[in-house]
Amino acid sequence: MTPPVLLDISRALTPNHPNWPGDADFTVTPGLRIAGGDSVNTGVLSTSTHTGTHVDAPWHYDDAGARLEDVPLDAWVGGCAVLDVRGRAVGGLLPAAVLDALPTSLPPRLLLHTGQPAHWTAFPRDFVALSPALVREAARRGVRLIGTDAPSVDPLESKTLDAHAACRDTGTFILEGLNLSAVPEGHYTLVCLPLPLHGADGAPARAILLPPGRVD
Ligand SMILES: N[C@@H](CC(=O)c1ccccc1NC=O)C(=O)O
Ligand SMILES: [Zn+2]
Ligand SMILES: [Zn+2]
């Protein structure tokens, strides 16, 4: 029997995991310690909602947008395509032309492999972002969620957040900070489960890919 193939596409949240410049530090500080006479070991977690692999709730980029608990879980779970777009950016943005060779009807979820490494030792300021035209063209072809291995769909210094705005306008959900470094292009089932943070603008998530058709 072929062993099950689960691809973990989440970033490990290592100590001192780099955060968005100016955002809150990621820390897990020691709580109780068995070695110190306590009955259990515990930790105290502090994190931005946008650390590592995470989802954006629409409220992150739209004051009238949905909070995390109002996004149905099936937005984050189901059929997806992984597309290798390394070297395809123009002026730091991925053009709609990255979809040129693809069918006019796409799976509801599209994950873009821009070439980020599996681990970040420093924040990758110079990441590749998405053009709003790409977001709109993907939505036109049936995409309802766009994911990227970069920390944002917009460039670091953007003030207008044009790709986020295109996601707002097209009702496209956003998954950021993936680790796609070991993922071949193709079709999969995405299982991405954000922490159920009530009222939140986003949340860290565990995301995996299953081969298509795998349900057990
Ligand atoms: N990954 C986030 C990053 C982000 O936008 C952000 C995070 C913390 C503090 C400020 C942020 N953006 C500011 O323009 C995002 O693009 O949704
Ligand atoms: Zn985010
Ligand atoms: Zn975002």
- The angle that helices 132-140 and 162-170 make with each other, rounded to 10 degrees, is 20
Does the pTM exceed 0.90? Answer: yes
Which phi and psi (to 5°) does residue 74 adopt? -75, -5
In a domain, 1, yes or no: no
Question: What pLDDT, on a 0 to 100 scale, did the predictor assign at position 1?
Answer: 53
Residue 124 corresponds to which tokens in the numbers above? 């990758």
In a domain, 87, yes or no: yes
Provide the annotated binding site for Zn(2+): 50, 54, 56, 164, 176
* Rounded distance from Cα 31 to ligand 3 centre (Å): 31
Q: Give the residues surrounding ligand 1 with Cβ less than 6 Å away.
A: 20, 22-23, 48, 50, 56, 60, 151-152, 154, 176
**64-69 contacts, C-beta under 8 A, 24 or more apart:** 65/168, 67/198, 67/199, 67/200, 67/201, 68/194, 68/196, 68/197, 68/198, 68/199, 68/200, 68/201, 68/202, 68/203, 69/196, 69/198, 69/199, 69/200
Give the ipTM. Answer: 0.94
Question: What pLDDT, on a 0 to 100 scale, did the predictor assign at position 137?
Answer: 99
Catalytic residues: 60
**Closest to 77 (Cα-Cα) out of 209, 211, 170:** 209
Mean model confidence pLDDT for the chain? 96
* Closest CA to ligand 1's atom 14: 159
Question: What pLDDT, on a 0 to 100 scale, did the predictor assign at position 108?
Answer: 98
In a domain, 70, yes or no: yes
Show Cβ contacts of residue 34 under 8 Å, excluding neighbours closer than 6 positions. Answer: 40, 41
In a domain, 195, yes or no: yes
Range of the domain at 145: 7-11+50-210
* Rounded distance from Cα 196 to ligand 3 centre (Å): 18
* Closest CA to ligand 1's atom 5: 152
Is the per-residue pLDDT at 37 higher than 70?
yes
Percent of residues, the chain, with pLDDT higher than 70: 96
Number of domains in the chain: 1
Q: What angle do CA 90, 105, 62 make, to 5 degrees?
A: 60
In a domain, 161, yes or no: yes
Question: What pLDDT, on a 0 to 100 scale, did the predictor assign at position 212?
Answer: 79
In a domain, 76, yes or no: yes
State how far the Cα of 73 lies from the Cα of 68, in Å rounded to an integer. 9
Displacement of CA 101 from its chain's centroid (Å): 24
In a domain, 22, yes or no: no
In a domain, 62, yes or no: yes
CATH number of the domain at 125, please.
3.50.30.50
Residue by residue, DSSP assigns 94-144 as E-GGGGTTS-SS--SEEEEE----S--SS--TT--EE-HHHHHHHHHTT--
Displacement of CA 150 from its chain's centroid (Å): 8
Which strand (E) or helix (H) includes residue 170? helix 162-170
